Amino acid sequence: MSVVEESPSHPPPGLRGLVSLLGLQGPLVGLAALSSTVAAALGLVPFFVVARMATAIYAEPPKLDEVRTLALVAVGALVLRYLFVAGATMAAHIAAFRILHALRLRIARKLGAVPLSFFSRRSTGSLKTTLMDDVNQIESFVAHNFPDAVAAMVVPLATAVALLWEDWRMALASIAVAPLAVGAMALAMRDVGKAHARWNEIQQRMNASLLEYFRGIKVIKTFGLSAARFGDLSRSIEEGLAWMEGFMRTNGRGYGAFGALIGSSLVVLVPLGGWLYVRGGLSLESLVLFLVLGPQLLMSLMRLMFAWGNVERVTAGNERIHDILLAPDLEDVAGTESPRHDGISFREVDFRYDSAGKDVLHRVTFDAPAGKVTALVGPSGAGKSTLVKLVPRLWEAHGGTVELGGVDVRKLPLDTLLSRVSMVFQDVFLFHGSVRDNLRLGRAEATDAELEAACRAARAHDFILGLPQGYDTMLGERGARLSGGEKQRLSIARALLKAAPVLLLDEATAFADPENEARIQEALSELCEGRTVVVVAHRLSTIATADHIVVLDGGRVQDQGPHEVLLSRCALYQRLWASHSDARDWSLGGAEAEAPRGVEVAS
């Protein structure tokens, strides 16, 4: 069975969740724990050997043959110990990385299945902390903490039984300081859960601030700022330092006292053991055995306590992972129902980004006829881009229906819906990979000839050939080697290659310079031919010839119709067109230039 198939659909939270994760690789985890326990037990053999050697050396005459035999036993035990340690390490790490593989695949699939509203409620920093730090902590727990914790429980218990059998008085003396050590640890670990929760909040803020710092590095450098002066990042780093200082002030003394007490059992063992030996109540072999082995009981307790501290931290991280995996998926329907045509209809559509927020769309109703171009215009914040994203269900309407071909998009199988829709975003995202790989995202089986034809139609073929390796050129993060216009033409080529009958354009020329805009408009003309198109307009001149124009303001439809009709009757459209015309005629740098309305030119 593959590790993917073994992954639980909903790993439970808390300690039970960690046990469930361990169960994914039960045989390997059990082998690691058993090997670790045997290795720890073998590590105690030399202590028993040393005690026996003391008797053999001080015998009259000394039993040197027995000493040599005991030395060989100690060496053999150490060799076996290292073999079992290697086996435990190998089994634990294989189990850990198989669990991580299954868990990360599960999380990746979940993030692909949830609606965009899931991401609107979570910061990038918190998701990064969960996906990287919390998952990595599980690897550390499975590979290290769990096998060590099992050995730290089993071996001291067996050793304690053996020492009690040897001499109950010295056995009790070996653990005499244990209550004080446990009390010190309890003092050190008070409110540690709250402290870890606060540390996680700081880590989330720091991660979010770092990502923002990297994304805005050009602006930061332009304004002469540095990491130390970049407000939120600087504050989160300072908060992290303050947390660590406060934690050590509050808990450091307890940890220090615990460590000191754990190593102080000889303070009790030496005088008691010497007194019993002198009185004849304890043999030399038993005295040496307790002096070398007694302190190991409490050292195992130290390992166990630290392992438990890690368990608390890993449990908290597993609960955050659990929250992601339990997030509701975007609902899909079974069946083979398909749209009856390619027209799009909005019927009394309401939408809000947050269930507790206010509506940003109010009873929006209009049709985008099949095979026609429908443009959405309006001031910033009117709801244009939001409407477009409701069609492929990137967002879900809270009221009314969005229909494709007369069928509510929520009643169409997702595969069917997405296969019929292509979208060109305003902000193009290109993945790290070759040009060819980025183009084939929507149609992996496309041939090289089809790929080239799409790029020619998108006016992208020529600049691609000018790249170092042509279509095999690797693009940097976010397509950093390409200009904005080149990225946009690649995005259009990607949509052309998918050949979906419905096309959604979200201000595809918003950031293009005049030269690139002309090329992009030519490419869009090719892309729109014969398709149902809904376009969010940035420059009104580009949609004046649209078959249908919908004017939006404040999330409501103000008017709709062709360009000439709207110019004659819609006051908002008239203002938008006048502003567009003024901006097109305006020039910068001279008093003689005609300024747009509301803009004064200094003389």
Q: Determine the average pLDDT of the residues in 85-89.
A: 88
pLDDT value of residue 601 = 34
- For residues 184 and 257, the answer to whether their CB atoms sit within 8 Å is yes
Backbone angles phi, psi at 440, to 5 degrees: -90, 10
pLDDT value of residue 376 = 92
- Quote the mean pLDDT of the chain: 77
Task: List where CATH 1.20.1560.10 sits in the chain.
Answer: 3-177+263-325
Query: What is residue 380's DSSP assignment?
Result: T
332-420+503-515+528-570 CATH choice from 3.90.1170.50, 3.30.70.3280, 3.40.50.300, 3.40.50.620: 3.40.50.300
pLDDT value of residue 83 = 92
pLDDT value of residue 215 = 66
In this structure, what token pair is assigned to residue 279?
Answer: 């009185």
Residue of 591 and 563 predicted with greater confidence? 563
Q: Tell me which residue of 373, 19, 305, 311 sits closest to 137, measured CA to CA.
A: 311
Residue 360 reports pLDDT greater than 80: yes
- For residues 340 and 406, the answer to whether their CB atoms sit within 8 Å is yes
Query: What is residue 223's DSSP assignment?
Result: T
Going by their DSSP bridges, the two strands 556-561 and 399-404 should be labelled as unpaired
pLDDT band at 348 (very low <50, low <70, confident <90, very high): very high
Q: How far apart are CA 237 and CA 243, in angstroms?
A: 10
| Beta bridge mates, 403 | 345, 408
Q: Determine the average pLDDT of the residues in 273-292.
A: 77
Share of the chain above pLDDT 70, in %: 76
Q: Determine the average pLDDT of the residues in 144-149.
A: 78
pLDDT in tens, 565-574: 998 999 998 8
Q: Determine the average pLDDT of the residues in 147-167.
A: 77
In this structure, what token pair is assigned to residue 253?
Answer: 């003394």
Residue 14 reports pLDDT greater than 60: no
pLDDT band at 309 (very low <50, low <70, confident <90, very high): low
Task: List where CATH 3.40.50.300 sits in the chain.
Answer: 332-420+503-515+528-570, 422-499
pLDDT in tens, 393-429: 888 888 899 999 888 888 888 888 888 888 888 777 8
- Residues 8-15: contacts with CB under 8 Å, at least 24 apart: 9/325, 10/322, 10/325, 10/326, 11/103, 11/318, 11/321, 11/322, 11/325, 12/322, 13/315, 13/318, 13/319, 13/322, 14/315, 14/318, 14/319, 15/311, 15/315
Residue 476 reports pLDDT greater than 80: no
Cβ–Cβ contacts within 10 Å for residue 165, how many?
Answer: 9
Residue of 582 and 350 predicted with greater confidence? 350
pLDDT value of residue 250 = 67
Residue 274 reports pLDDT greater than 90: no
Q: How far apart are CA 1 and CA 25, in angstroms?
A: 11
Residue of 197 and 139 predicted with greater confidence? 139
pLDDT value of residue 516 = 61
Residue of 447 and 277 predicted with greater confidence? 447
- Length reported for the chain: 603
Q: How far apart are CA 502 and CA 368, in angstroms?
A: 10
CA atoms within 13 A on the CB side of 355: 3
Q: Render 234-266 in DSSP notation, one character per residue.
A: HHHHHHHHHHHHHHHHHHHHHHHHHHHHHTTTH
pLDDT value of residue 597 = 40
Global pTM reads 0.64
Residue of 582 and 450 predicted with greater confidence? 450
pLDDT band at 595 (very low <50, low <70, confident <90, very high): very low
CA distances from 305 to 37, 127, 260, 339, 374 (A): 17, 30, 14, 62, 67
Residue 343 reports pLDDT greater than 80: yes
Q: Tell me which residue of 101, 112, 105 sits closest to 136, measured CA to CA.
A: 101
Residues 6+ apart with CB under 8 A from 160: 171, 174, 175, 297
Residue of 501 and 588 predicted with greater confidence? 501
Query: What is residue 114's DSSP assignment?
Result: S
In this structure, what token pair is assigned to residue 382?
Answer: 């009117």
pLDDT band at 349 (very low <50, low <70, confident <90, very high): very high
Q: Render 470-495 in DSSP notation, one character per residue.
A: GGGPEE-GGGTTS-HHHHHHHHHHHH
Provide the phi-psi class of 404: left if phi over 0, else alpha when psi is between -120 and 50, else beta: beta
Query: What is residue 331's DSSP assignment?
Result: P
pLDDT value of residue 600 = 37
Query: What is residue 551's DSSP assignment?
Result: E
Fold of 422-499: Rossmann fold (3.40.50)
pLDDT value of residue 510 = 57
Q: How far apart are CA 370 and CA 354, in angstroms?
A: 32
- For residues 315 and 18, the answer to whether their CB atoms sit within 8 Å is yes
Going by their DSSP bridges, the two strands 361-368 and 502-506 should be labelled as unpaired
127-141, 212-226, 365-379, 487-501: which is most confident: 365-379
In this structure, what token pair is assigned to residue 282?
Answer: 């304890």
* Segment (H or E) for 379: none
| Beta bridge mates, 548 | 374
Provide the phi-psi class of 499: left if phi over 0, else alpha when psi is between -120 and 50, else beta: left
CA distances from 29 to 21, 95, 228 (A): 10, 6, 45
Q: How far apart are CA 180 and CA 186, in angstroms?
A: 10
Q: Determine the average pLDDT of the residues in 103-132.
A: 76
Residue 264 reports pLDDT greater than 80: no
pLDDT value of residue 414 = 83
pLDDT value of residue 491 = 86
pLDDT in tens, 179-206: 777 676 666 666 666 776 777 777 777 7
Instruction: Given CATH 1.20.1560.10, say whether it is the number of domain 3-177+263-325.
Output: yes
User: SS in 3 state form for 117-180?
Assistant: HHHHCCCHHHHHHHHHHHHHHHHHHHHHHHHHHHHHHHHHHHHHHHHHHHCHHHHHHHCCCHHH
106-110, 125-129, 136-140, 343-347: which is most confident: 343-347
In this structure, what token pair is assigned to residue 428?
Answer: 């193009």
> To which residue do tokens 């890690």 refer?
310
